[in-house]
Amino acid sequence: MSSNNGLGGAVYTRWGRKTCASGATTVYSGVAGGEGYGHRGGGTNYQCLPTNPQWARGRYQDGVHGARAYMYGAEYELGTNVPFGSVSVHNDNVPCAVCYVPTRGSKLMIPVRNTCYSGWTREYHGYLMTELYNHPSAKEFVCMDEQSETMQGGQADQNGALFYPVEARCGSLPCPNYVEGRELTCVVCTK
């Protein structure tokens, strides 16, 4: 029988916000990053990078080298205020927070819902986002907070890792209940 010495809990990333929801502890606040949108290789998942990086003493080489993967900052790519409302965050850098809930041990992101199923606690809700459908650098689907924030000074169009809203496409996806072209919601739940 193994023991976790009373430790447990759930850890999740809150995309688009600098702090965690009430009831969760902010482990760290950071900036979203990932492989460049036009690259065919490298990592496929977004990362929440701390704003205070640490470097191994003498174990790095400054300068750009060809035989490496790359980490870029991430931007919102919207073009309109939809789905986030009246304030456009297009081309702004994306903040994130890594959150810890000590009283619940499981975490679940549910696409196309904004409430949790019975017995689960909603941490936050928002819109499903990922890389653009025809970019060679595929990324994971993440739940971007509905009340998304931006990183100060990050309005330049740098086009590193990108977050685009995800919309429904009818065909093998059943319409109804899905709606052609409608942006998909999401919710992050713990239990």
pLDDT at 56: 85
What would the pLDDT profile of 127-174 be if each residue is shown by its tens digit? 999 999 999 989 999 999 999 999 987 778 888 999 999 999 999 999
User: CB within 8 A of 31, min separation 6: which ones?
Assistant: 48, 49, 51, 73, 74, 93, 94, 95, 96, 151, 154
In the prediction, which pLDDT does 154 show?
A: 73
CA distance 117 to 115: 7
The pLDDT assigned to 105 comes to 95
| pLDDT value for 86 | 64
- Amino acid 3: pLDDT: 40
Mean pLDDT confidence for 46-75: 90
Strand 121-130 to strand 142-145: parallel, antiparallel, or no bridges (unpaired)? antiparallel
Confidence (pTM)? 0.91
| Token reading at 119 | 């017995």
Report which of residues 185 and 153 the model is more confident about.
185
What's the pLDDT at 87?
A: 67
Q: Which 3 state secondary structure label does DSSP give 77?
A: coil
Mean pLDDT of the chain: 92
49 by Cβ neighbours in 10 Å (0-12 / 13-18 / 19+) ranks as middle
Residue matched to tokens 């590193």: 160
For 23-45, the pLDDT digits (tens) are 999 999 999 999 999 999 999 99
